[in-house]
């Protein structure tokens, strides 16, 4: 009798546990599995059948099983005429600013055309015979990261040559908010084509929709634009990135700090290119009051790094929390105040700092001694104007 009671009791506990588990499991299932655009071939393969396509992609054009998009399309008998490679090349192993050569993809035999250097925009000859360009690149959601400029030029070339653009959307590690100075038109360049803030809070697919919808392409033209959206994506959630977007953004920490530290590229301060911690440290031979020391040396991702072989004094931010939201100007202001070199200005003479900022106001504010709070407050009116544009193109839960 006592044994029967124990067995019944155990069965009762098991049933309760199963009920709780099933309830939890169903809730988990309700949230749904996240999928990139590339991981939903049922949405785009029918649109590509019997078409001649070009593909703009690099090493980040991966599917969830780590198959490259190009290989997947070839396997599914999609005719790819050309692979277009952005900055850093098709395999993502070229330095920032390094000329990427045209060539042939060894695995598939498909010609590769570089969209960097003198050929940032596909020519009419390069697009001849192509019906659709498929764009699949992992972006990092920052205006001066050049993949959104490549997308804009590809869209422009598509509009001019009657070629459809299809974007397979991917997550943005700085999504769901905006920050930084809004670019002034006179500072437009490949590291900032449009009047948007440094952090613009849109996926690359949404960004392309905005460029098209606002008629920001040359001569106000528009392209036939198809967006393959992500599934179960939430803008303020962060998703794993399958491969580093470029050689010097090797991990989540570097990507998180990148919008704040990239400004140093317009100064006499290194951001750690040529070390094991690019975009996680900063320093200069002329900021000796700062505590951390490192020496840039040639590496795979930086063949001739800035301040090569010189001892730099700065800060190690590699343990900084990865939930930094927005721009932190504390580090560039601190470095400016610590900088002691009578022969070289802190800011490079070519005004690359202004080009990155999209305005000369930030440099002038730092020189005049404005605090981070004062500077960020000055961005608010322009950010509010941009927000009215941005909200028109948001496709996912903010």
pLDDT in tens, the chain (398 residues): 444 544 444 444 434 344 433 332 323 333 589 999 999 999 999 999 999 999 999 999 999 999 999 999 999 999 999 999 987 567 644 455 555 567 888 888 999 999 988 899 999 999 999 999 999 999 999 999 999 999 999 999 999 999 999 999 999 999 999 999 999 999 999 999 999 999 999 999 999 999 999 999 999 999 999 999 999 999 999 998 989 999 899 999 999 999 999 999 999 999 999 999 999 999 999 999 999 999 999 998 899 999 999 999 999 999 998 878 899 999 999 999 999 999 999 999 999 999 999 999 999 999 999 999 999 999 999 999 999 999 999 999 87
**Phi and psi torsions of 354, nearest 5°:** -65, -40
Residue 96's closest CA among 240, 272, 253? Answer: 272
Residue 23 is predicted with a pLDDT of 35
Cα–Cα dist 198/141, whole Å: 8
Q: Which two structure tokens, joined as six digits, stand for 227? A: 């967006």
Cα–Cα dist 180/362, whole Å: 10
Q: Which CATH class is domain 41-241?
A: alpha beta
With b meaning 16 or more CB within 10 Å and e meaning fewer, what string describes 29-58?
eeeeebbbbbbbbeebeeebeeebbbbbbb
Name 85's bridge partners. 114
CA 115 to chain centre: 17
Within the chain, residue ranges assigned H as helices are 2-31, 41-48, 69-75, 124-127, 147-160, 204-213, 252-261, 330-338, 352-357, 361-367, 372-390
User: Which tens digit of pLDDT belongs to each residue from 231-245?
Assistant: 999 999 999 898 999
Judge whether 293 and 312 are in contact, CB under 8 Å: yes
Q: Which two structure tokens, joined as six digits, stand for 94? A: 């070229």
Residue 186 is predicted with a pLDDT of 96
Domain positions in the chain are: 41-241, 252-367
Residue 300 is predicted with a pLDDT of 85
Instruction: Give every CB contact of residue 301 below 8 A, 6+ residues apart in sequence.
Output: 93, 95, 246, 247, 248, 250, 273, 278
The SS3 call for residue 255 is helix
Judge whether 73 and 80 are in contact, CB under 8 Å: yes
Residue 19 is predicted with a pLDDT of 42
> pTM for this one?
0.89
């Amino acid at each position: 009798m006592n044994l029967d009671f124990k067995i019944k009791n155990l069965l009762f506990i098991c049933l309760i546990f199963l009920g709780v588990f099933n309830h939890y499991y169903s809730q988990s299932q309700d949230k749904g599995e996240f999928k990139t655009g590339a991981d939903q071939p049922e949405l785009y393969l029918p649109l590509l059948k019997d078409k001649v396509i070009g593909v703009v992609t690099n090493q980040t054009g991966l599917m969830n099983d780590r198959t490259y998009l190009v290989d997947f399309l070839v396997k599914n008998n999609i005719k790819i005429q050309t692979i277009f490679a952005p900055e850093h090349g098709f395999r993502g192993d070229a330095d920032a600013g390094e000329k990427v050569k045209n060539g042939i993809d060894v695995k598939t035999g498909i010609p590769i055309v570089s969209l960097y250097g003198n050929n940032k925009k596909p020519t009419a000859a390069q697009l001849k015979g192509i019906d659709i360009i498929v764009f699949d690149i992992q972006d990092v959601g920052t205006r001066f990261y050049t993949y959104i400029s490549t997308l804009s030029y590809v869209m422009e070339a598509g509009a001019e040559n009657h070629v459809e653009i299809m974007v397979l959307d991917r997550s943005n590690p700085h999504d769901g908010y905006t920050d930084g100075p809004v670019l002034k038109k006179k500072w437009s360049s490949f590291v900032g084509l449009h009047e948007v803030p440094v952090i613009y809070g849109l996926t690359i697919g949404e960004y392309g929709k905005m460029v098209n919808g606002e008629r920001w392409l040359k001569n106000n033209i528009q392209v036939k634009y198809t967006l393959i959206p992500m599934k179960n994506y939430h803008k303020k959630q962060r998703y794993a990135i399958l491969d580093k977007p470029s050689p010097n953004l090797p991990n989540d920490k570097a990507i998180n700090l990148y919008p704040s530290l990239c400004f140093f590229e317009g100064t006499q301060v290194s951001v750690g290119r040529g070390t094991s911690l690019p975009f996680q440290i900063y320093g200069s031979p002329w900021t000796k009051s700062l505590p951390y020391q490192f020496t840039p040396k040639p590496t795979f991702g930086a063949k001739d790094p800035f301040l090569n072989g010189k001892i730099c004094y700065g800060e190690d931010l590699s343990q900084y929390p990865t939930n930094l939201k927005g721009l932190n100007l504390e580090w560039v202001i601190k470095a400016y105040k610590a900088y002691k070199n009578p022969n070289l200005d802190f800011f490079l003479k070519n005004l690359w700092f202004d080009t990155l900022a999209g305005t000369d106001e930030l440099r002038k504010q730092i020189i005049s001694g404005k605090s981070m709070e004062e500077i960020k407050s000055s961005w608010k009116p322009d950010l509010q104007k941009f927000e009215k544009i941005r909200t028109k193109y948001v496709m996912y839960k903010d």
